[in-house]
Structure 1
């Protein structure tokens, strides 16, 4: 990382110079920052799925996962501090129609770390990695379910929403449950007890059911909203890519759960479950992946339109990263399951695009965080205007 003094000279700014006081780093901290963890973590997971260059990319993937852990710890510390020292201001988030949606980023960020623990952890800390992951998964499940229920409840009872102001940000608290479902599919084979294995798989399928049907409903409303009221403002340009999230994660979840759940259910006396889940999972995943392909092409075209008029940088740019990452992972997994090289090559191309986007967004984020200009709480801005 560059020397801060050199960076200050190159930018002409001192650290956090855009903040009125250094304590505003805490006062203005919001859950949006957990999307940085999500994006960095999914890049690590995607790089790990490229076997052709695994020897070269493995250290990079591991390094990004470790960086995600550090980022998650920092985000947790800063956001906890905000609730301790600025409680009255922090609680305003529950009434904010947009920022409250980012509570869903917390369990999703934790899930990427959990998945990385199952992949990278055994080589570093041995079998204890699975034990730690097991406990963290149940915590993640609890957080995901709370977000999936509590945030819509606030939408219905406390917040004000209008169809012309709707964006794909509505998906964030909902998708967390299916992300936890994917983690459950990865976790289940590492559990020794057969009964606990079954509980993890069954819970994961339920989580998938909590999330995907509701997410598809939101996507249907989103299509209607854009047809009637056109695109969101350019500040929300990246939000269209969020639509890839539930579709990519939903497809990935069916593939992972189909592969892991079949043998577990068969061992519990559900004859034929192994072949049935594998085939049904594959067919359903292909359907979701196809819907995701439509959203990918549409989002790409929409982004080109936005870029012609200029898109201001904000933390919302991380909306390009995680959805594309899970869609790339689903594509690579389809290549493995079907044996079709087209999916493998397409998945590799998506990972390449993912890495390029991450480099751009991460670089801009480091610069904006150094200056302090990204530490802005819309809840406080709205209160000041009111």
Structure 2
């Protein structure tokens, strides 16, 4: 083998190794965003678009999962450093939410067993992360107040509600235990709503009563809306789910009322988040360049579309379906732009790598 070939092979190996070592733990938001738009397109009747997105999502999930496992094996200290960082630990919840969103998409297409296994896996990871995350928050975090301006901590709520939704979807495959899965879904939905209320107290204090710099406003801010939207989605699904439990039927009006409040709260945030974007990139002219955080903007748009559709069925208000029909295309447009940004970054990196490999 010539020295140029050896250099090229070494360059590619080093590049791949660096990608794995520096993998952002929240990159599974890409799968979350793609999956939720695929699911929304499915329910809106655009099955061909949904199938294409699902196929891309399976590839993305497998690639990110393998990279995560490789990072855990080859760079355990880097993984632990991220896990023990209060501002990063909750990013790992994107793995849970991505698994659940993809699992729901597979369940819609009849892959019940795979969807059930994915739900069990997501639940186990959620159980480990939820207590590790709060342990880090309690014992490691040294900030005087919880600075969640990036909205990253709210991904824990998104993952909690995603487990609830996925569990209710796969419940029919559990036979006699289905009612327990639905009951568990109600419990997780409640946990997510309570955690959202707790975190939002800190969040609103930070964003409304403290200095906010343009660089503080990142795409992850949209998770504030996304967490409320997925709580709406979960609540509406619970209202629509048939159950033999008289107790669950009794609390259904309560679930429906809270669900409507969460949808209203999510809706209220959308114009404000747009204003934040204009203030950051229009007034202060911060460059609008691709980062993996942009998937944290795309996901809430898709989730809001699906939540509006499901709420229209739960509340029997067909007019809400029109909101979903518009928002799902906005979400797809945002997904396309973000994907183009990712492709551009990858292309530039590969060109630089190829140029370096051909130099003598």
Fold match (TM-score > 0.5): yes
Partner of residue 179, structure 1: 162
Partner of residue 379, structure 1: none
SS at 1:306's partner residue?
A: helix
Partner of residue 230, structure 2: 249
SS at 1:193's partner residue?
A: helix
Query: Hey, what's the Cα distance between the residues in 1 that align with 2:99 and 2:298?
Result: 16
Partner of residue 381, structure 1: none
Matched-pair contact (CA < 8 Å) for 2:217–2:280? no
SS at 1:33's partner residue?
A: coil
Structure 2: which 5+ residue stretches go unaligned? 1-7, 351-360
Structure 1 range deviating more: 236-245 or 155-164: 155-164
Residue 162 of structure 1: how far off its partner (Å): 5.0
SS at 1:97's partner residue?
A: coil
- Residue 68 of structure 2 corresponds to residue 79 of structure 1: yes
CA deviations 1:160-213 (Å, max 9, x no partner) are 43548432111112321111101122222x22622x101211211221222220
What is the aligned-residue RMSD (CA, Å)?
2.5
**Counterpart selection for 2:42 from 39, 48, 71:** 48
Matched-pair contact (CA < 8 Å) for 1:147–1:174? no
Matched-pair contact (CA < 8 Å) for 2:86–2:140? no
Partner of residue 340, structure 1: 317
CA deviations 1:126-153 (Å, max 9, x no partner) are xxx2122222212211222322221121
Partner of residue 281, structure 1: 255
Query: Hey, what's the Cα distance between the residues in 2 that align with 1:241 and 1:221?
Result: 16
**Counterpart selection for 2:30 from 36, 45, 51:** 36
Partner of residue 109, structure 1: 98
- Change beyond 3 A, Cα 1:329–1:232: farther
Query: Hey, what's the Cα distance between the residues in 2 that align with 1:76 and 1:42?
Result: 18
- Residue 88 of structure 2 corresponds to residue 99 of structure 1: yes
- Change beyond 3 A, Cα 1:175–1:146: farther
Residue 96 of structure 1: how far off its partner (Å): 2.3
TM-score computed with the length of structure 2 as normaliser: 0.87
- Change beyond 3 A, Cα 1:232–1:328: farther
Matched-pair contact (CA < 8 Å) for 2:289–2:341? no
Query: Hey, what's the Cα distance between the residues in 1 that align with 2:70 and 2:135?
Result: 26
Partner of residue 173, structure 2: 191
- Residue 13 of structure 2 corresponds to residue 24 of structure 1: no
Matched-pair contact (CA < 8 Å) for 1:155–1:161? no
Residue 20 of structure 1: how far off its partner (Å): 6.9
Partner of residue 264, structure 1: 244
Residue 238 of structure 1: how far off its partner (Å): 0.9
Query: Hey, what's the Cα distance between the residues in 1 that align with 2:117 and 2:192?
Result: 22
Query: Hey, what's the Cα distance between the residues in 2 that align with 1:101 and 1:164?
Result: 13
**Counterpart selection for 1:365 from 338, 342, 354:** 342
TM-score computed with the length of structure 1 as normaliser: 0.81
- Change beyond 3 A, Cα 1:115–1:359: same
Matched-pair contact (CA < 8 Å) for 1:37–1:72? yes
- Residue 196 of structure 2 corresponds to residue 215 of structure 1: yes
Query: Hey, what's the Cα distance between the residues in 2 that align with 1:20 and 1:132?
Result: 35
Residue 358 of structure 1: how far off its partner (Å): 0.6
- Size of the alignment, in residue pairs? 339
